[in-house]
């Protein structure tokens, strides 16, 4: 080696050593990101401005029969006019399309059965700027039912509860708002096991139309629980369910939205134990693995000894969990409570609450899907009520304080001047981890959009009248704010 080579040898050796030091041993694959998967939460109100907001209502009856119908309420949460359009979809496709305009801080109602006549019709509302919220009210002689409309479509939907005992009617309402046919595979689970009827494999929903599936007509008669899984092999859709209870301990009518995803936590702000009150939960596990689901009753006195109740849910199975049977006698005290169901397994279950309360001489059954925290763990402290009571209603809101510190709640009514705190409903204290009910009897809150503003994270359900002159309440979630 000659001297001239020394500098180069040093450089090359150092370079090679440096490369060995910084070089990787294995290839690294980074996952590019485009956007968060949509429709992984419950219907919510986006506080940020968006280009457009699309709302997909699960469907209302529009058969033209007396006292049967439906309406969609669009609330403008802004101080400017809200422009948009809506389409009413029926079995044969779009049945009406129209532009809409909502004045600032006001609401517009679409009377669906005034436009169409069909067993069920679904409304798709598109609003510019996204500053609005949309809810539907199904009108039925057995009781009115309020439900938020979905913010998005999905290619999977789940129902944990289903009920056809004593001729009760259950109808799945599948809405395809797209220009292309959707194809769905349905799977059912009852206490007897699961089934995948051939007729419902590749079940098509034509473009921009609504198809309904009466569960009882499939042979699932007198079933105390029928869970349903809908997986779209092509396209995306919106799934709703209309239940008309005619016996078996249930009574009433309700239209609800299905769960667009499996989750590992489901929360219920409302729940009650007492004379004549039946509270059960349908837990559906459509996965191929058995899971254990823990239920915890919240908002009850500290000396209550109910503890954690564990429910085994078999793979592809559904169970009906009755706390009264599972918990020791008296462990769950009478009165209101909140409930959370959770599993340590991957998101794998859907939980619905079936709450039957006395209503005059009869009972009223209300079925509600639990509320999951958002995928990032977010729980809202502000909730919106688009459709509120039109007459003074006691215990109209049931709120669970999810934080272990006391919070304050203020109810704002949205009027011509915008959201205004209701004096009688301001600074309502909520103890840590407690359930409170709020009466909406102040005239300022009637027929208004309401905003539940809390200092803590809360879950908020509303219990609205089932219609003028009817006893009992219909339960539904308020719409959480998606945050800014």
Under the rule (CB under 8 A), what is the footprint of other proteins? Answer: 1-2, 4-5, 7-9, 11-13, 15-16, 18-20, 22-39, 50-52, 54, 83, 126, 128-130, 152-153, 155, 177-180, 234-236
Asked if 284 and 159 touch (Cβ cutoff 8 Å), the reply is yes
Question: To the nearest whole angstrom, how small is the minimum distance from the Cβ of residue 404 to other proteins?
Answer: 33
Question: To the nearest whole angstrom, how small is the minimum distance from the Cβ of residue 18 to other proteins?
Answer: 7
The residues, ordered by sequence, that sit 6+ positions from 307 with a Cβ below 8 Å of its Cβ are 331
Considering the complex, state which of residue 375 and residue 408 has its C-beta at the smaller distance from other proteins. Answer: 375
Asked if 318 and 264 touch (Cβ cutoff 8 Å), the reply is no
Question: To the nearest whole angstrom, how small is the minimum distance from the Cβ of residue 181 to other proteins?
Answer: 9
Question: To the nearest whole angstrom, how small is the minimum distance from the Cβ of residue 98 to other proteins?
Answer: 13
Question: To the nearest whole angstrom, how small is the minimum distance from the Cβ of residue 117 to other proteins?
Answer: 25
E strands within 198-349? 203-205, 209-214, 226-234, 238-245, 252-257, 265-268, 272-273, 278-285, 291-298, 308-313, 317-321, 335-336, 338-342
Considering the complex, state which of residue 189 and residue 232 has its C-beta at the smaller distance from other proteins. Answer: 232
Considering the complex, state which of residue 209 and residue 343 has its C-beta at the smaller distance from other proteins. Answer: 209
Considering the complex, state which of residue 26 and residue 325 has its C-beta at the smaller distance from other proteins. Answer: 26
Considering the complex, state which of residue 178 and residue 320 has its C-beta at the smaller distance from other proteins. Answer: 178
Question: To the nearest whole angstrom, how small is the minimum distance from the Cβ of residue 172 to other proteins?
Answer: 22
Strand partners, 89: 94, 122
**What is the C-alpha separation between 242 and 335, in angstroms, rounded?**
29
Question: To the nearest whole angstrom, how small is the minimum distance from the Cβ of residue 445 to other proteins?
Answer: 32
End-to-end CA distance of the chain: 69
**DSSP H helices in 269-338:** 323-326
Considering the complex, state which of residue 7 and residue 377 has its C-beta at the smaller distance from other proteins. Answer: 7
Q: How crowded is residue 143: how many other Cβ atoms within 10 Å of its Cβ?
A: 25
The burial class, CB within 10 Å (0-12 / 13-18 / 19+), for 278 is middle
Q: Which residue bears the tokens 């305009």?
A: 101
Compute the CA torsion angle 145, 151, 154, 158 (nearest 10 deg).
-30
Considering the complex, state which of residue 208 and residue 316 has its C-beta at the smaller distance from other proteins. Answer: 208
């Amino acid at each position: 080696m000659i001297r001239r080579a020394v500098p180069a040898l040093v450089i090359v050796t150092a370079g090679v050593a440096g490369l060995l030091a910084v070089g990787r041993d294995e290839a690294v694959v980074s996952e590019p990101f485009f956007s968060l998967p949509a429709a992984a939460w419950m219907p919510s109100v986006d506080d940020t401005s968006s280009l457009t907001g699309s709302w997909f209502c699960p469907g209302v009856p529009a058969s033209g029969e007396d006292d049967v119908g439906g309406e969609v309420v669009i609330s403008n949460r802004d101080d400017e006019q809200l422009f948009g359009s809506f389409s009413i979809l029926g079995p044969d496709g779009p049945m009406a399309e129209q532009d809409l305009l909502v004045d600032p801080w006001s609401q517009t109602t679409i009377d669906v059965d005034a436009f169409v006549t069909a067993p069920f019709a679904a409304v798709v509302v598109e609003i510019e700027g996204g500053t609005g919220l949309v809810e539907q009210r199904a009108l039925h002689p057995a009781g009115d039912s309020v439900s938020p409309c979905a913010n998005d479509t999905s290619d999977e939907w789940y129902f944990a509860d289903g009920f056809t005992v004593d001729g009760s009617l259950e109808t799945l309402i599948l809405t395809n708002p797209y220009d292309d046919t959707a194809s769905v595979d349905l799977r059912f689970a009852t206490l007897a096991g699961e089934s995948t009827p051939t007729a419902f494999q590749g079940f098509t929903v034509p473009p921009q139309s609504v198809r309904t599936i009466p569960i009882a007509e499939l042979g699932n008669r007198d079933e105390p629980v029928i869970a349903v899984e809908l997986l779209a092999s092509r396209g995306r859709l919106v799934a709703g369910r209309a239940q008309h209870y005619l016996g078996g301990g249930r009574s009433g009518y309700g239209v609800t939205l299905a769960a667009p995803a499996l989750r590992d936590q489901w929360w219920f702000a409302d729940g009650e134990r007492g004379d004549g009150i039946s509270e059960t939960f349908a837990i559906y596990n459509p996965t191929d693995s058995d899971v254990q689901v823990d239920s915890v009753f919240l908002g009850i006195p500290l000396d209550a000894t109910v503890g954690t109740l564990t429910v085994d849910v078999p793979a592809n199975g559904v169970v009906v969990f009755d706390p009264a049977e599972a918990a020791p006698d008296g462990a769950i005290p009478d009165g209101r409570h909140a409930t959370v169901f959770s599993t340590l397994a991957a998101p794998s279950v859907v939980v619905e609450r079936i709450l039957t309360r006395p209503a005059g001489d009869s009972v009223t059954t209300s079925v509600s899907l639990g509320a999951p925290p958002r995928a990032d763990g977010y729980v809202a402290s502000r909730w919106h009520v688009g459709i509120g009571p039109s007459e003074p209603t006691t215990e109209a809101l049931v709120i669970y304080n999810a934080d272990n510190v006391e919070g304050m709640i203020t109810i704002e009514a949205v009027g011509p001047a915008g959201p205004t705190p209701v004096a009688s409903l301001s600074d309502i204290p909520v103890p840590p981890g407690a359930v409170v009910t709020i009466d909406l009897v102040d005239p300022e809150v009637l027929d208004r959009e309401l905003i539940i503003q809390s200092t803590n994270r809360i879950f908020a359900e509303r219990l609205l009248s089932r219609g003028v002159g009817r006893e009992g309440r219909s339960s539904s979630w308020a719409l959480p704010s998606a945050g800014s």
